[in-house]
Structure formats: structure tokens, C-alpha cells
Structure 1
Amino acid sequence: MQRICFQLQVTPGRIDEYKRRHAAVWPDMLQALRDSGWHNYSLFLRPDGLLIGYFETEDLAAAQAAMAATEVNGRWQAEMREFFEDLEGAPDEGFVQLEEVFNLEEQLGRLGPL
């Protein structure tokens, strides 16, 4: 399972509306994410608009392609695009992926029984 962490920048004047929209994501969008292989998906937002997202998937490219093939994702991405600064393309493909440099369970697993 791949752990994906990414960042985007929400326009500061749009933060409240962004949070409101994510408090009640469309049910068909939630279903599409789950069916497309996006698991344990969370978004974290700093007061200045820095958005950090995290999800787990078997295959990032396949999960993105599966979402791109859904009608609901096209509508959602078109509506969400306006919330972000310095974004090329759709938010679900234009994010900056962060490199994972530490994972507790992974390192504990290499140690064996303690």
C-alpha cells in the first residue's frame, strides 16, 4: 500500500468556504473515491491556507485514472479548482507530492520483536 502525502495552497480568503464544502462532500464523490482506491483519506488545513492531504492506495496512477474516468470527479474538480493558488490542472492531479522520510511502523518492523 502506498502512503501519499501532498500539499496545495488554498486562497486565504476562501478558507471558510473550502471548509464548508468539505464538511458535506457529495455522497457520489465519496463513493467514487472509495471505489477508485483512495483509502484513509484526510485533509489538514493550516490557518494560512496550507493544505496537506494524506491517503493510502495500491497504485497512485491507477487511483487517479479511475477517478478521472468518473463524471462526478470532473464536476467536483471544476468546483474545487477556484479555491487554490498556483495550481496547474485539476487539484487531484496538480498537487505537490511530498516525500515520506520516516514511518514508525516500517522502522519498528525492521527491528523485529522488541
Structure 2
Amino acid sequence: MQRVAFTMKLFKGFEEEYRRRHDTLWPELQTLLHDAGIREYSIFLDESSGILFAVLNIADPKQLDALPAQAVMQRWWAYMKDIMESNPDNSPVTSPLKEVFYLP
């Protein structure tokens, strides 16, 4: 398994809405992520900046490349675009992070 980490940006005032939407994550999205090999996916919020820090484990990170073409992923992005920074295709603006330390 490889760890993949990235940041996103939540609009101010939408912290509880972001949490609510993820607390009721669509079962078909959960299945898609699981079927892509994603495990132990966590998202953390820096409340002072609105920066979301995400980290997940995946056997083959190339599997992430297929997710944008999936209809449920497209619907999720459209659902989330009003509360976070998004690209023209509704995908969240992300910044990949390079791992510099890991203590197993």
C-alpha cells in the first residue's frame, strides 16, 4: 500500500456542512472508492485556514486516474462545488503533497 496525501480548500463558514455531507457519504461513492483500492481515507481540517488535508492508502495510485470518469464521482464533485474551491470541471482544486517522513 502507498500513502497519497493532498490538500484542498473549504470555503469559510461551510465547515459543518462539509462534515454533514461526508457523514452521509453516498454508498455508491463508498463502493467506487473501495473498488479502486482506496483504504483508510481520512480528511482533516485546519479551521484557521480552511485547508483540508487528505491522506489515503491505495495499492496502485494509478487507479486514482480512472475516478474522474466515473458518473458518481462527477455527481459528488457537482454536489461539493458550492462549498469548496473547484476547477471548471467541478473537481476540487487539489495540491499533491510529497511524503518527507513516515514512522510505521
State the TM-score, normalized to the length of structure 2: 0.85
More helix by share: 1
Following superposition of structure 1 onto structure 2, how do residues 16-95 of structure 1 map, counting pairs within 5 Å? 16-48=16-48, 49-65=50-66, 67-85=67-85, 87-88=86-87, 89=89, 90-91=91-92, 94-95=93-94
**Residue equivalent to 2:8:** 8
How far residue 82 of structure 1 moved from its aligned partner, in angstroms, is 2.1
Aligned equivalents of 2:62 and 2:36: distance in 1?
Answer: 11
Give the count of matched residue pairs.
101
Query: Which sections of structure 2, spanning at least 5 residues, go unmatched?
Result: none
- Runs (4+) of structure 1 moved beyond 3 Å? none
Cα displacement (A) at 1:46? 2.0
Quick one: which amino acid aligns to residue 103 of structure 1? Y
Let me know the Cα RMSD of the aligned residues.
Answer: 1.5
Which of 1 and 2 has greater Rg? 1
SS in 2 for 1:13: coil
**Deviation readout 1:49-105 (Å, 9 max, x if unpaired):** 21110101122232231x2232211100111122223x43512xx311111100112
Sequence identity of aligned pairs in percent?
Answer: 36
